[in-house]
Structure 1
């Protein structure tokens, strides 16, 4: 995802998006400044021009030169649907892109039996993807519920299912490998962050030199970093498992990690690191001591089994 899209929340309201598209997709080419002026002098609608340009370029509807905006074949097709079908095509392009690029966490999709609607849990859209969330709301594909989750419009259910099947087929081994590499890089960045965090916390003590990240070598320890509770510690007594996330705090916890957490009790810590906040100077991770008790026995956390290993019972 382009960096500019991470920094913006909206490209405009529904009328603004329509006006922007009709302006830049009308001919074979339009000067960027001319398009900006046309989009500036309109009443009763909102347009974030620079954000909309980046958004439409990202979805493949325009190519951008230094001074001009040039509609692609897909952009011309979108323009032809201004009289009907425009919102559906734009919505499909948006969904295709955010699912294929793993911007939207499809594991956060749920069906609400009582409301008879699909919804996306809050962590499904990370903060950096707010522009996509808000465009889909403007297209009436999503609506925000009181709990912060996003309800999928019944009108778009079949469209969403079509996109979901299409992107599943396109998720090649190479794309899957890339996704895993990105997740691994995010995890490593979080661990390096926590290593520096611990080094800073104990900077005045000589034991700081012994703080170590062990996950590169020992992948089955049940924790990533060995550290110390305080300057008086004479041996390792803080065992840290690092969990990286985007959006709402959440993490996956393996059977081995839970067993190790239970074994070490108050010496075991979870550090939850928001990947979107690592570069903020005043950011600190969420630190959970003795999660085997403070998470499992707490009403503040919801634990959901994601899979079981099943064998036939012996006769």
Structure 2
């Protein structure tokens, strides 16, 4: 039996599929408790409480029930609370994009299957990214792409899902402005104007766009992608390919590097998005926190060779 604590975004409190998943796993013998968020800060507080319950032996798996922002908040707060060795984390994907869940092989249309992964699969120890004092699990974006994520209409996201980000980006490409910045990483330096950047622990953002298509979440490295400034006539085509095909669609245009740390400075304010949470900055240091958190994943290419060996933990079955 596994004792699960779900931290559920308040908007999903009445979700019939979630209720069915909880009932199903309880019938199968697992202990499933649910805490529902009501206001800002609840998810982090509940994650800390769940870690304390894990220390007492009452919780084995802490599940983030929501979108990428909820996953970030729960996982980050759980990591900060220093979970005991046998405490692991899972995902119940209930957001618009569910970018990390999709790339991590978590079923986004079957809540019972997703919860069963958290209860019964092996947990893999994954890396966590950190920008200044804030963690990110998946991808940090900067420049135009981060603005699109923030400015996409919530109703459009509800109706169209990830396609809403693509439509918003294409309709606002004329507003596309570049930023100036200086990047440094291990054995790498680049300076100039750029339209967009991504730093990936995971691979995709913005509703399924693979911005860092080769990133791994257990290699101790972050993947940096920079799209340099383009002439006005090139922008629409490049943006359309980026939004439609991801970074692979503009491979000849982008600058890439893989490093355990990345530093950025600028004289201009940069719009940044951390797993769906906006921020503004003129400088940051991104670092990879290696083997930071045990997480239950589906079948995914995010894991490097040998990930089924010493880098994974047994499922948290309790007698």
After TM superposition, the score normalised by the length of structure 1 is 0.25
Q: RCO (CA 8 Å, sep 6+): is it higher in 1 or 2?
A: 2
After TM superposition, the score normalised by the length of structure 2 is 0.24
More strand by share: 2
More helix by share: 1
Highest Rg: 1 or 2?
1
